[in-house]
Structure formats: C-alpha cells, structure tokens
Amino acid sequence: MIFEVEGDILLSQASWIAHGVAPGDHFTQGLALALREQWPSLAKDFRHYCQTAHPKAGGLWMWHGPGAHIANLLTQEAAYDHGSKPGMAHLEYVGHALRALAQELQQEKVTSIALPRLATGVGRLDWEAVRPLLEQHLGALQTQVFLYTTYRKGIRAQEPAQVSTQ
C-alpha cells in the first residue's frame, strides 16, 4: 500500500522513517542532515556502526532512538577517501536495500513507514528508474508506505488514517 503525499517528512505520523545514505556518510546533506539535526545521536551511532561493521552499499541499518525509528538504506557508494563526498547511488544498491527493508518491516510488523523519493537527490538517480523498485519491494506489504514526493517544509502531509506508532 503506497500512498503519495506532499509535506515535511519529519512531521510524519508514520511508525518509521526511511532514507538513503552511503556507508560512512556524515549526514551533511538533504534529509540525512535534517534527521541529524533532529536526532544528533543518529549520526554518531551510524558513524560508530560504520567504523566497526564496515557495511557495504545495498544494506540496511536500523536506528531506534527516543520517539524515532529510522531505516538507513545504504543506497550509495561509500566516499572514496576520508573527507570526500559519498559516491553515487546505483539501482542495484537501492533494490538490495529495499529488499532488506521489506523483510524488516514484515518481521517487526511495522504498520507504517515514510520515505522520500530514494536516491534521486544526493544519489542522483532518475525517479522513473527507482520507482519500480519501490513498488516491487514495498507495494504488496501490509505496511502503509507514505511516499513523500514533494517536500514542503513545516507542512504535515495528508497521510491516510489508521497510522499507529510502533
């Protein structure tokens, strides 16, 4: 169940929020930056995870903090070296990360999740190529998927009812 909405994803009533990042990302751009500003420990915990686990693109890392459940989808290549910007996203990584997310949503019985048009901003992918992957991996789930197609700062989206927190 995918519902397209417009608004500020940080004001979502969904149980979880998902976004795309690169392994070792410092959360300095886009939604990742907004999430870091709202939950500073998210970025610190992610850096620690990357330093100890050395994750590869295409994976998923979950963060559960005070009042938030954030799915970090590793949709981009890691930065070439320390201090450089993350690499580009690839459809293969997006597909693997969405498959892992779908499994996590089912296992945890998550009722709703909000996510942006993955890998199309900083990741530089074409939405028309990414969208079918989102539909393939999340479209048939019982979880309500709120796809934020247009960002509107400070505006709460019109998400369908029956959203509960988990």
Phi then psi for residue 82, to 5 deg, are -60, 130
Phi, psi of 107 (to 5 degrees): -60, -40
pLDDT of 84 reads 60
How many Å apart are CA 145 and CA 101, to the nearest integer?
12
Residue with tokens 């693109």: 57
Contact 2, 134 (CB under 8 A): yes
pLDDT in the model for residue 83? 59
109/15 Cα distance (integer angstroms): 10
Judged against a pLDDT cut of 60, whether residue 3 lies above it is answered with yes
**In CATH, which of 3.40.50.150, 3.40.640.10, 3.40.220.10, 3.20.20.80 is domain 2-78+87-151?**
3.40.220.10
Residues 6+ apart with CB under 8 A from 18: 70, 71, 72, 73, 101, 113, 114, 115, 118
Q: Is the pLDDT of residue 81 over 80?
A: no
pTM of the model: 0.91
Helix H or strand E segment including 161:
none
| Closest-CA residue to 43 (of 16, 58, 61) | 61
d(CA 57, CA 76): 6
Model pLDDT for residues 118-156, shown as the tens digit of each residue: 999 888 999 999 999 999 999 999 999 999 998 888 889
Tell the residue number behind the tokens 């089912």, with chain if given. Answer: 106
The distance from CA 106 to its chain's CA centroid, rounded to whole angstroms, is: 16
- Each domain of the chain, given as residue ranges in start order, spans 2-78+87-151
